[in-house]
Homo-oligomer: A and B are copies of this chain.
Amino acid sequence: MNSFTFYNPTQLVFGKDSIEKLPAMINQFTSGTKVLITYGGGSIKRTGLYDRVIGLLEGFEVFELEGIEPNPRLSTVKKGVQLVKDNNIDFILAIGGGSVIDGTKLISAASTIDEDPWKIVTREVTPTAAVPFGTILTIAATGSEMNSGSVITNWETNEKLGWGSPLVFPKFSLLNPEVTYTLPKNQTVNGIVDSMSHLLEQYFNEADNSAVGDAMIAGVMKAIMKAGLAVQDEPENYEARETLMIGATVALNGFMRMGYNGDWATHNIEHAVSAVHDIAHGAGLAVLFPAWMTYVSGKSPERFAQFAEDVFDVDASLPQEEKVKAGIAGITDYWKAIGAPSSLSEFDIPESDFEVFADKTLFNGPFGNFYKLNKEDVIEIYKLAH
């Protein structure tokens, strides 16, 4: 293990009664009454969640930022910052999934500076304060509800970049699994792929010892996979929705990664694609992870054999090569079973784009903490995903 500091002050409030705690939760963090709610498209209005929240916010003066995109855009963040500054907002409430929360994190931090919010993402400006915010989660996926990371897309420069700050941990997140009953099936699936991908990124890490992390990751993966199958035919299976929701949160709130960094190459490879083509992050990861696994397992097979044993209970006595194959097949078969996409060509992404994508991934040089990738490697992975 590496030396590390774990710190996560988010209050996670979980259960069928969690959303009703909203006013009391906000009052912990401000004596003010001006609340900005941020959300995406109209789905929270269709499902009634919007009306429920407005009802709970009686007594607060409510401002709204509607239309935070999947792959949240800098341009929308700027609108939010303007709203906060113009109205002296006391507290921000993000209602949505990872995109809404990620966008809100940048609004929260950028509202305290006088410069372009993008400078926080590019690390030209380090925020020293943030407007407090909480979340009501509507999809089990990114884990943004309990971490301090955020990914923002700048369509002026076709860049999609991650940033983070301990200032932008949500003060609280309210998680009611019932809210996810009405998700379109492909969003549920993308969410499962997203949380599984976070676990995969962390399983393939650079540490010489990650016994506790390995064990927790393998266990959470198994629990998510089982629940993910259960919701395919029964979207209102409460226990399965519970497991998917808490599973997605713990997959990226720091619990799993004490003492190592995770690989994170595949996320970078995916961001390069969705910075240019507006495809869902989870869908991109579904296509790219097996390709990354196939490519890297040829270079570093031991860990992939261990993965097959830990996650798919593959017989330890089998030859290494067979174990490696069984582990990768375990993931691709699971993607198929839940109806996740399997090839970049399904999104009409031409092979001629790969060179551009690869250059984007390498903006900071070779990358990947488990296995370092250069440009040729990245192009091979895109080809395997095609």
Chain A positions near chain B (C-beta within 8 angstroms): 1-18, 208-209, 211-212, 214-216, 218-220, 222-223, 226-227, 239, 242-243, 246-247, 250, 255, 258-259
Contacts and interface: CB of A to CB of B under 8 A. Distances in A.
A239 B1 CA distance: 8
Contacts of A3: 13-18
Contacts of A220: 212, 215-216
22 contacts: A1-B15, A2-B15, A3-B13, A3-B16, A3-B18, A5-B12, A5-B13, A6-B12, A7-B9, A7-B10, A7-B12, A15-B259, A211-B243, A212-B220, A212-B243, A212-B246, A212-B247, A215-B219, A215-B220, A216-B216, A216-B220, A255-B255
Nearest to A16: B3
A16 B8 CA distance: 22
The residue among A1, A12, A13, A259 with the most chain B CB atoms within 10 A of its own CB is A1
Given A209-B242, A212-B247, A212-B250, A14 B258 contact: yes
Nearest to A250: B212
Contacts of A243: 209, 211-212
Given A1-B246, A209-B239, A215-B218, 16 more contacts: A1-B242, A2-B15, A3-B15, A5-B11, A6-B11, A7-B11, A7-B12, A14-B259, A209-B242, A211-B227, A215-B216, A215-B222, A215-B223, A216-B220, A250-B258, A255-B255
